[in-house]
Structure 1
Amino acid sequence: MRRSFWHRLQQRVATLFPASYSWPAMDIRLGDRRLHLAGSIHMGTRDMQPLPAGLLRQLHKADALVVEADITQGGSPFTGVEEHPPLATRLAPEVLQQLTALCDELSLSLSLFDRLPFWQIALMLQAQQAQRLGLRPQYGIDYQLLQAAKAANKQIIELEGPDTQIALLKSLPQDGLALLLDTLAHWHTNARLLQTMISWWLDAPPARQPVALPTTFSSELNDTLMRNRNQHWRELLHALPHGRYVVAVGALHLYGEDNLPGLLKSS
């Protein structure tokens, strides 16, 4: 009787206060599907290797690993991108001046970007910024999880895949001009956001919801790159077969307005 009482109490406490982890993650139950939803950083620091032992235990108990895309497969996603007219004919003078100044700061030649679509320029600049903060692709959380899953012969499920992600970027209006403008306008804010996400893995994740995050996307871009994708992923996760899953998506998808955990719990 006594043990039954304490067991019920422990279950009640677990309901009121879900399990917390030393990495940004939470457990969500969708009927007979159990998700360990982890907030990934696609490029990480050396200190993020190896992954936490507890996260690897979650993976070993899981039936499959769910990721945005299997980034260990294939070559560069930028192959076959159509060449564009020179930047001087596509950008307003003040924006071109801002981009030139940033290239000078990063010791990059503007000619490197001259014939590229705006969305690709934005991604390349963001990658340069991450590298200057000490982040590298091989230390990314999803990359490490993919390697561990393959070593353990776990099934890997993609929510999108690289081709779908590139198609989304190509579908942005004006070749992704808004993404480039946001990257330039929020350059220093984005650096602080990256440092915040690094601290979620190396120090401690946010203890309380909701988490206030700086805005680095315009409303339209946020709908396309965050809210709409979260809603689509919710449907895909609800459609998974019964079982246990480790789900790794970009850490920003776990926090802020219309975050993925909130959508899953409300559906």
Structure 2
Amino acid sequence: MRHGLWHSIQQRIAILFPASYSWPAMDIHLDNRRLHLAGSIHMGTRDMQPLPAGLLRQLNKADALIVEADITQGGSPFSNDDEYPPLATRLDAEVLLRLQALCDELSLSISLFDTLPFWQIALMLQAQQAQRLGLRPQFGIDYQLLQAAKAANKRIIELEGPETQIALLKSLPQDGLPLLLDTLEHWHTNARLLQTMISWWLDAPPKQQPVALPTTFSSELNDTLMRNRNQHWRELLLALPKGRYVVAIGALHLYGDDNLPGLLKR
């Protein structure tokens, strides 16, 4: 079963990133609409600035930029209106030890997370990991594209928006415990995945195919955070009026079962 899954992923990856682009991207034509799908990294390294000239030309020719959310609006999407019981009362002893060990590795006090929901702890840990790899929000691909689009007075279309994304996280079962458990379990795998994505932007996508990338979500989380969103985004993109669009979405949405490009081609 696992071999079959990887073979399926490899087949899809092979068609995603044509050698004609030096960044992870592909073009899709939907009747009278042309989409340039760019696999974004939400946090980037300093070397990712400025964006590739070819990508900026795509944006200049586009009628609009489409992103998951406009992250240039400022302000934290998190609200700590609800305080949760201490972690010691919410987590199994083994999981608490793993979290404590990771906090020690990151030089963080576990008390920082004590009354937060599990999904927020997971996101904060992931942000810490990205920062340790040299990634910063202001160098993220979608952030830079948003800045360029606003400078050029391009229309910006959100597929979700920050409020919707936070609502999705709040809807996760057990206050997002599965996301925290996956974050702890796949910590090193996720670091390698981030490094792979960085190299695709800095050194060009790999020309040798197929390329296999690991999954870092459980099946249930994958349905919620990947597959269901891809299906929703498909409907929104299919409803676009005539025109050319640059679509910047997380690179992981461009591969795997029910990836967005595959759904659009159905």
Common fold by TM > 0.5: yes
- Aligned twin of 1:149: 149
| 1:241 counterpart SS class | coil
User: Following superposition of structure 1 onto structure 2, how do residues 214-225 of structure 1 map, counting pairs within 5 Å?
Assistant: 214-225=214-225
- Aligned twin of 1:5: none
RMSD, aligned α-carbons = 1.4
Which residue identity is paired with 2:137?
Answer: P
Which residue identity is paired with 1:104?
Answer: D
| 1:55 aligns to 2:60 (yes or no) | no
Distance 1:152 1:142, change over 3 A: same
Find the aligned partners of 1:167 and 1:231 in 2 and give their Cα distance.
18
Q: Does 176-185 or 196-205 show the bigger shift?
A: 196-205
Which residue identity is paired with 1:225?
Answer: L
Find the aligned partners of 1:208 and 1:79 in 2 and give their Cα distance.
45
Structure 1 residues not aligned, in runs of 5+: 1-16
Find the aligned partners of 2:50 and 2:97 in 1 and give their Cα distance.
42
| 2:247 counterpart SS class | strand
| 1:246 aligns to 2:246 (yes or no) | yes
Contact in 2 for aligned 1:226/1:253 (Cα 8 Å)? yes
Find the aligned partners of 2:212 and 2:258 in 1 and give their Cα distance.
12
| 2:265 counterpart SS class | helix
Which residue identity is paired with 1:26?
Answer: M
- Aligned twin of 1:3: none
| 1:186 aligns to 2:186 (yes or no) | yes
Contact in 2 for aligned 1:18/1:27 (Cα 8 Å)? no
- Aligned twin of 1:265: 265
Q: What per-residue deviation string (whole Å, max 9, x for no partner) do you get for residues 109-155 of structure 1?
A: 00000000000000000000000000000000000000000000000
Q: Does 187-196 or 17-26 show the bigger shift?
A: 17-26
Q: What per-residue deviation string (whole Å, max 9, x for no partner) do you get for residues 207-265 of structure 1?
A: 47764221210000000000111111011000011100000000111122211111111
Q: Does 72-81 or 128-137 show the bigger shift?
A: 72-81
Which residue identity is paired with 1:216?
Answer: T
Structure 2 residues not aligned, in runs of 5+: 1-16
Contact in 1 for aligned 2:159/2:233 (Cα 8 Å)? yes
Contact in 2 for aligned 1:66/1:248 (Cα 8 Å)? yes
Contact in 2 for aligned 1:64/1:155 (Cα 8 Å)? yes
Q: What per-residue deviation string (whole Å, max 9, x for no partner) do you get for residues 157-179 of structure 1?
A: 00000000000000000000000
- Aligned twin of 2:39: 39
Q: Does 62-71 or 196-205 show the bigger shift?
A: 196-205
Find the aligned partners of 2:210 and 2:226 in 1 and give their Cα distance.
16
- Aligned twin of 2:236: 236
Distance 1:81 1:222, change over 3 A: farther
Find the aligned partners of 2:148 and 2:204 in 1 and give their Cα distance.
23
Contact in 1 for aligned 2:22/2:204 (Cα 8 Å)? yes
Find the aligned partners of 2:93 and 2:54 in 1 and give their Cα distance.
52
Contact in 2 for aligned 1:38/1:249 (Cα 8 Å)? yes
Which residue identity is paired with 1:102?
Answer: L
| 2:192 counterpart SS class | helix
- Aligned twin of 2:140: 140
Find the aligned partners of 1:235 and 1:215 in 2 and give their Cα distance.
25
| 1:153 counterpart SS class | coil
User: Following superposition of structure 1 onto structure 2, how do residues 77-226 of structure 1 map, counting pairs within 5 Å?
Assistant: 77-207=77-207, 211-226=211-226
Find the aligned partners of 1:174 and 1:227 in 2 and give their Cα distance.
20
Structure 2 length-normalised TM:
0.91
Q: CA deviation at 1:200?
A: 0.9
Contact in 1 for aligned 2:103/2:110 (Cα 8 Å)? yes
Distance 1:211 1:231, change over 3 A: farther
Find the aligned partners of 2:186 and 2:164 in 1 and give their Cα distance.
26
Distance 1:248 1:208, change over 3 A: farther
Contact in 2 for aligned 1:254/1:261 (Cα 8 Å)? yes
Which residue identity is paired with 1:139?
Answer: F
Find the aligned partners of 1:231 and 1:209 in 2 and give their Cα distance.
26
Find the aligned partners of 1:208 and 1:168 in 2 and give their Cα distance.
36
| 1:84 counterpart SS class | coil
Structure 1 length-normalised TM:
0.91
Contact in 2 for aligned 1:212/1:256 (Cα 8 Å)? no
Find the aligned partners of 1:58 and 1:210 in 2 and give their Cα distance.
26
Which residue identity is paired with 2:253?
Answer: H
